[in-house]
């Protein structure tokens, strides 16, 4: 997927008077757009939200991570050790510091409620941008929006590669090979019922979401029963019709939501994946060792404004060079 992981709505862009020319192409333009949204768009169109991620994601930290990673990939593709204390990176990080990522958040909402899931409310919300859910999934009604480090840089599509390996000296070699074969042929639930990680060796065909299909069948039955109950109540005077119709609306909206998730991998996503294969970069390099106490301490010092941009990027350069010398 493109590292920025954002998609935009052409329809909502048009609704607020914007065109394709207004779609951000670089990280700097994206941050400029945040300012434009706060000062202009949100004033004229208060019901249109900037992004579905603003209420539960620290966008500043997320963009910082994306920019650092994308910078590293450009160096890796050339077979070079990444450098961070460069004029472009200083410029982008200064802009990160000067951008108000929270100025248009509704702080009257208690933080405990941020990120809570409400499909009824979410379906009614209008977002200019949405975060993509995974490598090839694009939210329905949205268009992929890759961001470049700068106008002169190419778009980076990074691919994550997961491998299952079997030790040839394993005393349970036969069972291990059977396990790998099973994992290749079966979706595996890792987060509980309804959440599947697809581990197919061949993703050339769409993959149905079995949990969603089961829910769709259940909801269709509920709707059928609810319609029958409404008709029966009308024959008896219609005392409960209003409440029953509200329940019916809930089931219909739930059905609409589940229908959107009826495929884990759609044909559209497969086509998108194939289309972008030529620009994909599979990284085998360790960009950051986040588990390192030294690295975590450096990030926290910068986030808490204990060091400035120049010192942060200089320390980052030193750390990455040290990792490369150690062969990490």
pLDDT digits (tens, 9 = 90+) for 256-315: 888 877 887 778 777 777 776 666 666 655 555 555 778 788 888 988 889 999 999 999
Question: Which has the higher per-residue pLDDT, 116 or 6?
Answer: 6
Phi, psi of 26 (to 5 degrees): -130, 165
Instruction: Judge if 283 and 244 occupy the same domain.
Output: no
SS3 assignment, position 281 = strand
Whether 63 is covered by a domain: the verdict is yes
Residue spans of alpha helices (H) in 204-281: 210-235, 241-260, 267-275
Instruction: Judge if 121 and 234 occupy the same domain.
Output: no
Query: Residue 230 sits in which domain range?
Result: 210-261
In whole angstroms, what is the distance from residue 284 CA to residue 274 CA? 21
Q: Is the pLDDT of residue 89 over 50?
A: yes
139 Cβ contact list (under 8 Å, min separation 6): 7, 130, 132, 133
- Domain tally for the chain? 2
In whole angstroms, what is the distance from residue 155 CA to residue 162 CA? 23
Whether 163 is covered by a domain: the verdict is no
SS3 assignment, position 254 = helix
pTM metric for this prediction: 0.69
Instruction: Judge if 70 and 129 occupy the same domain.
Output: yes
Instruction: Judge if 96 and 11 occupy the same domain.
Output: yes
141: left (phi over 0), alpha (psi -120 to 50) or beta: left
DSSP label at 194? T
Whether 189 is covered by a domain: the verdict is no
- Residue 195 to residues 211, 257, 261, 283, Cα–Cα distance (Å): 8, 15, 11, 26
Q: Which of 14, 20, 16 is nearest to 45 (CA)?
A: 16
Tokens 């450009």 belong to which residue?
74
Instruction: Judge if 283 and 227 occupy the same domain.
Output: no
Give the pLDDT of residue 278. Answer: 67
- What is the arithmetic mean of pLDDT over 150-172? 75
């Amino acid at each position: 997927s493109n590292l920025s992981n954002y998609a935009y709505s052409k329809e909502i862009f048009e609704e607020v008077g914007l065109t394709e020319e207004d779609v951000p192409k670089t990280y700097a333009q994206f941050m400029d757009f945040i300012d434009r949204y706060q000062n202009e768009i949100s004033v004229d169109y208060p019901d249109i939200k900037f992004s579905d991620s603003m209420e539960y994601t620290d966008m500043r930290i997320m963009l910082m991570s994306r920019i650092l990673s994308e910078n590293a990939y450009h160096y890796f593709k050339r077979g070079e050790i990444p450098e961070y204390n460069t004029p472009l990176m200083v410029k982008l990080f200064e802009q990160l510091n000067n951008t108000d990522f929270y100025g248009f958040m509704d702080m009257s909402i208690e933080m405990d409620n941020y990120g809570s899931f409400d499909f009824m409310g979410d379906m009614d919300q209008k977002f200019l941008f949405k975060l993509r859910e995974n490598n090839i999934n694009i939210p329905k009604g949205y268009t992929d929006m890759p961001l470049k480090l700068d106008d002169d840089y190419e778009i980076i599509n990074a691919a994550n590669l997961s491998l299952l390996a079997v030790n040839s000296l394993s005393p349970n070699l036969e069972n291990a090979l059977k396990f790998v074969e099973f994992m290749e042929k079966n979706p595996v639930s890792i987060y509980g019922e309804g959440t599947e990680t697809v581990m197919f060796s061949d993703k050339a065909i769409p993959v149905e979401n079995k949990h969603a299909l089961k829910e769709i069948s259940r909801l269709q039955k509920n709707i059928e029963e609810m319609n029958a109950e409404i008709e029966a109540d009308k024959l008896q005077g219609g005392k409960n019709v209003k409440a029953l119709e509200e329940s019916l609306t809930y089931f219909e909206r739930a059905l609409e939501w589940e229908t959107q998730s009826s495929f884990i991998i759609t044909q559209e996503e497969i086509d998108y994946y194939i289309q972008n294969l030529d620009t994909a970069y599979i990284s085998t390099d360790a960009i950051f060792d986040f588990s390192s106490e030294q690295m975590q301490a450096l990030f926290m010092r910068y986030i808490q404004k204990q060091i400035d941009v120049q010192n942060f990027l200089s320390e980052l350069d030193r750390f990455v060079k040290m990792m490369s010398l150690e062969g990490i």
